[in-house]
């Protein structure tokens, strides 16, 4: 299924446009304001994993101290688990304990709110590694979103929009999850890889809040939320 989805995307007209936009954003020359509804296949940024694999192939001599085969396999597993979340628990289970070359990188969409009528959708990166009895998650967040629970100082980086020039930040934060909670972790991460409506419904259910009137009038939540 994951291979089929990727092949369809690679052969689509959208592929070239998506990759050009991605590279421009990586050069910090363009904001990412793409509505979720534009992603008909999957998040195009995961195609970078394939480019990193090619880079390792061309520069294998530079990484003689590392297990290049395992690095490539980790990138490939990250790519296909991001496309097809049903593979995620299998790939987490296959992580090699205490091996730096064994990892998963996932682009997660996170929905949260700071009050009942202020919902935000945001993109973060997640790196998973395994120790003997724990799965370690590193969340990489490039954001100027004011999250109240975040107390650590935030380093500044340059942002394309001068209005946000002093607000763009990079934050890393960490979680450790006991290996016996692997299935629960998989379900949680899957919400960040599937349609945003699934996560939105789950958030409403867990917080026991009713859908706001403004959302009731618009059944396509993807038109409301933009990626930050």
pLDDT tens digit string along 216-225? 434 444 433 3
pTM, to two decimals: 0.71
The Cα angle at residue 126 between residues 124 and 131, in degrees rounded to 5:
160
Using alpha carbons, select from 19, 1, 214, 217 the residue that is nearest to residue 119.
214
Least confident of 20-34, 95-109, 189-203: 20-34
Q: What is the dihedral of CA 140, 145, 147, 153, to 10 degrees?
A: 70
Cβ distance 100 to 64 under 8 Å? no
Phi, psi (rounded to 5 degrees) for 37: -65, -15
At 115, the pLDDT band (50, 70, 90 cuts) reads: low
Q: What's the rounded Cα separation, in Å, for the pair 56 and 137?
A: 24
The encoded tokens of residue 190 equal 């899957």
Residue 213 has pLDDT above 60, yes or no: no
């Amino acid at each position: 299924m994951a291979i089929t989805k990727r092949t369809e995307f690679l052969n689509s007209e959208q592929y070239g446009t998506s990759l050009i936009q991605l590279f421009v954003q990586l050069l910090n020359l363009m904001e990412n304001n793409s509505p979720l509804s534009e992603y008909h296949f999957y998040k195009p940024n995961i195609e970078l994993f394939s480019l990193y694999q090619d880079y390792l192939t061309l520069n294998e001599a530079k990484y003689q101290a590392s297990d290049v085969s395992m690095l490539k396999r980790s990138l490939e597993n990250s790519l296909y688990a991001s496309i097809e979340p049903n593979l995620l628990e299998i790939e987490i289970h296959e992580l090699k304990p205490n091996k730096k070359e064994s990892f998963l990188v996932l682009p997660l969409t996170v929905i949260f709110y700071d009050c009942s009528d202020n919902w935000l959708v945001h993109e973060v990166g997640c790196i998973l590694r395994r120790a003997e009895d724990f799965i370690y998650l590193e969340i990489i967040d490039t954001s100027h979103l004011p999250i109240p629970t975040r107390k650590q100082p935030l380093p500044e980086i340059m942002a394309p929009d001068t209005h946000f020039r002093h607000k763009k930040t990079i934050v890393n934060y960490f979680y450790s999850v006991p290996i016996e909670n692997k299935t629960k972790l998989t379900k949680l991460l899957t919400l960040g890889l599937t349609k945003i409506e699934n996560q939105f419904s789950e958030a409403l259910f867990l917080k026991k809040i009713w859908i706001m009137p403004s959302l009731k009038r618009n059944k396509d939540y993807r038109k409301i939320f933009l990626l930050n």
